[in-house]
Structure 1
Amino acid sequence: MLKLGELEASVMDVLWNVAEPMRVREVLDELNQDRNLAYTTVMTVLDNLHRKGWVEREMQNRAYHYRATSSREEATAQTVRELLDSTEDRESVLLHFVQSASEEESDILRRALRRKSRKR
């Protein structure tokens, strides 16, 4: 994801895949199924994600519990929005994107645009 380092993205993946807030130790245990990270490394990453607004935390029994501030889908849509806002030629970007879209993705876009036009 844009604005996230590799480890930050991995931590976010863990948080996005669960319904309940997680302690640092729980996030670490999930991540360490595929690697060998230190507790303090994950704690620092979660603190940085909190500072950046990607996660919120709540103190419970002397330990922070972390949860994502938005869903994976909302975060991805925000990234796309920021990319579009960063270019002067949005039309070109959108046209290139549409050309790369699968038939299923094109159908999804058509349905979303029809719903949007009905709301106006």
Structure 2
Amino acid sequence: MTVQNKGGAEHSRRRGQGELETQVLAALCRAPGPATAGWVQEQLGGNLAYTTVMTILTRLQVKGAVARERVGRSFEWTPVADESGLAALRMRKVLDGERDRQAVLASFVTALSPRDEQLLRDLLAQASGDGED
């Protein structure tokens, strides 16, 4: 990805962690059905190498965000998770990698804004059935 600096010259910008995965998954979610890596590459503007798209799709499959099915000599890919689902998978992976889950969750919750904290409370109530009529 290129970005222009103040003088108008272009330089490469390093993508944020997970940014490319998010872009690939978003393109796949826009597909009218199962899509090939070539289709995803086209949707992303063709600036990425085909092998890069394949690598990202394979990583997303390992994470459980996409599924693939062999069609002829190629694969067709289908999203299993959307962008928010991918973010949730990343969050769970971070949590699973820590020894003190309670401390990690406590730090996360105490850093939430009051609005996000209330949203989390509402979601937890719904998940536990407390929010049912």
SS of structure 2 residue aligned to 1:20: coil
SS of structure 2 residue aligned to 1:87: coil
Which residue number in structure 1 is paired with residue 96 of structure 2? Answer: 85
2:128 and 2:67 mapped to 1: Cα distance?
Answer: 35
**Is the 1:50–1:57 Cα contact (8 Å) retained in structure 2?**
no
The CA deviation at 1:66 is 1.0
Higher mean alpha-carbon deviation, 22-31 vs 65-74, is at 65-74
2:25 and 2:44 mapped to 1: Cα distance?
Answer: 11
The CA deviation at 1:45 is 4.0
Which residue number in structure 2 is paired with residue 107 of structure 1? Answer: 118
The CA deviation at 1:6 is 5.5
**What RMSD in Å do the two structures reach over aligned CA positions?**
3.1
For these two proteins, the number of residue pairs brought into alignment is 113
TM-score by length of 2: 0.61
TM-score by length of 1: 0.65
Larger RCO (CA under 8 A, 6+ residues apart): 1
What runs of 5+ residues in structure 2 fail to find an aligned partner? 1-16
- Which of 38, 46, 51 does residue 25 from structure 1 map onto? 38
**Is the 2:70–2:76 Cα contact (8 Å) retained in structure 1?**
yes
